[in-house]
Amino acid sequence: MQTSSQRFDAIVVGVGGIGSAAVYHLAQRGLDVLGLDQYNIPNSIGSSHGDSRLIRLTNHEDPEYVPHVRRSLTLWESLENQYGEQLLHRTGTVDAGPPDSDTVQGAIKACKEYDLSYEHLSSQELSEKFPGFELPEDFEAVYQPDGGFINPTKCVQAHVELAQEHGAVTHAHETVEDWNSTADGVTVETDRATYEADNLVITAGAWTQLLVDELEETLTPWRVIVGGFQPADREQFTPKNFPVFSINDGSQGYYGGPDAGTSGFKFGLVDNLEEVANPGDFDPRPTEKERERLRTELLENAQRYFPEGARTIKRLKTCMVTHTPDQDFIVDHLPSDPNVIVGAGFSGKGFKFSSLMGELLADLVTHQESAVDVELFDISRFQRVTR
């Protein structure tokens, strides 16, 4: 146990998708930063791991987020250039379903409103362009060429390594147990040491509610599953030949994308919230019920729309996502403790925005104006968030 306390300009608790980006943006601005994570950096227990996270400009569920996706893409490209390795794969995106569905109509609306290039395709035209798709004849699709996916593990790694080049310090396997506001900042107690800082940034994913009691009712961590399948012909389903997709058949939403590494052809359910997770006691090993859901809900539907993509089961991953009641994020100062800033509640759709969220968190620490509208993320929309 270290006894003397060290002081930093900012401490970031949780170096996952969002926290690693915050460490990077703070260090890049010349701040003396410490990033702490209870597990490996990166790790596969939190929410930011694996081969791919989708990034869709069409964003039919939340068209007001399109400017945020654009800014995120700009930041991912900049990160990729600095890091010198591919992080972003612009495979294009497909939004498909019945012609009058929110998926198809919402994607068209977003493309028109934000002047995005797109192709409106029949089911047959989609199969001619990407032979892996076998959607019902009466489905339509919107193909938008600029989206795709990012590699979450590599993105965390890139943010952390580049932050370290700017002087940031990161400690893995060090758990923050408590924090307190002081007259001139915060103290942070871990299982190894006590630190002081001018500002504390809490990006602890599903564990955030354990560090900010009053967010307990606002943040709900869920166990979710995603499947990986073995294609009959892998080449047809690699990022070079196959886009990411979002399908809604009128009753259920599905998402997925190419076989981008070791995970196989990816297929998941949009409304996947069956069981609330206990982050203090999270066991990522799939339960028997989750294995059964893999064989039924995932494999059967994957085979229905992509018979050549989902020949056999390759992988089942259980992890946590953390929802807010309105599924918009929280990126704000704590009203009771203005030196403490929270980035949480990314509601199963946050990774694509993590480059931008790091920038916004750094803006809040350094009191700078942000490049995009941040009102959506205001903590005061939820009642009583004092500690």
Contacting ligand FAD (CB under 6 A), which of 12, 88, 94, 321? Answer: 321
Residue 177: which of 38, 342, 340, 12 has the closest Cα? 38
Question: Shortest distance, CB of residue 219 to ligand FAD, whole angstroms?
Answer: 10
Question: Shortest distance, CB of residue 217 to ligand FAD, whole angstroms?
Answer: 18
| Residues that contact ligand FAD, how many (by CB under 6 A) | 33
Contacting ligand FAD (CB under 6 A), which of 46, 106, 239, 243? Answer: 46
Nearer to ligand FAD, 123 or 194 (CB): 194
- Which residue stretch of 43-51, 120-128, 160-168, 293-301 sits at the interface with ligand FAD (rule: CB under 6 A)? 43-51
Question: Shortest distance, CB of residue 352 to ligand FAD, whole angstroms?
Answer: 3
Question: Shortest distance, CB of residue 124 to ligand FAD, whole angstroms?
Answer: 27
Nearer to ligand FAD, 16 or 185 (CB): 16
Among residue numbers 11 through 40, which ones bind ligand FAD (CB under 6 A)? 13-14, 16-19, 36-39
Question: Shortest distance, CB of residue 4 to ligand FAD, whole angstroms?
Answer: 21
Nearer to ligand FAD, 14 or 309 (CB): 14
Contacting ligand FAD (CB under 6 A), which of 350, 358, 359, 365? Answer: 350
- Which residue stretch of 287-295, 333-341, 345-353, 374-382 sits at the interface with ligand FAD (rule: CB under 6 A)? 345-353
b/e for 180-219, b at 16 or more Cβ within 10 A?
ebeeebbbbebeebebbbbbbbbbbbbbbbebbebbeebb
SS3 labels along the chain: CCCCCEEEEEEEECCCHHHHHHHHHHHHCCCCEEEECCCCCCCCCCCCCCCCEEECCCCCCCHHHHHHHHHHHHHHHHHHHHHCCCCEECCCEEEEECCCCHHHHHHHHHHHHCCCCCEEEEHHHHHHHCCCCCCCCCCEEEEECCCEEECHHHHHHHHHHHHHHCCCEEECCCCEEEEEEECCEEEEEECCCEEEEEEEEECCHHHHHHHCHHHCCCCEEEEEEEEEEECCCHHHHCCCCCCEEEEECCCCEEEEECCCCCCCEEEEECCCCCEECCHHHCCCCCCHHHHHHHHHHHHHHHHHHCCCCCCEEEEEEEEEEEECCCCCCEEEEECCEEEEEEEECCCCCCHHHHHHHHHHHHHHHHCCCCCCCCHHHCHHHCCCCCC
Does 186 contact ligand FAD by CB under 6 A? Answer: no
Contacting ligand FAD (CB under 6 A), which of 11, 31, 54, 360? Answer: 54
Contacting ligand FAD (CB under 6 A), which of 9, 26, 53, 163? Answer: 53
Question: Shortest distance, CB of residue 195 to ligand FAD, whole angstroms?
Answer: 12
Query: What pairs with residue 122 in β-bridges?
Result: 140
Residue 267: which of 317, 206, 319, 321 has the closest Cα? 317
Among residue numbers 121 through 150, which ones bind ligand FAD (CB under 6 A)? none
Question: Shortest distance, CB of residue 328 to ligand FAD, whole angstroms?
Answer: 12
Contacting ligand FAD (CB under 6 A), which of 43, 122, 123, 181? Answer: 43
Among residue numbers 206 through 265, which ones bind ligand FAD (CB under 6 A)? 207, 211, 224, 226
Nearer to ligand FAD, 232 or 374 (CB): 374
C-beta of residue 373 within 8 angstroms of C-beta of residue 328? no
Which residues of this protein are in contact with ligand FAD, per CB under 6 A? 13-14, 16-19, 36-39, 43, 46-48, 53-54, 175-176, 203-205, 207, 211, 224, 226, 319, 321, 346, 348-352
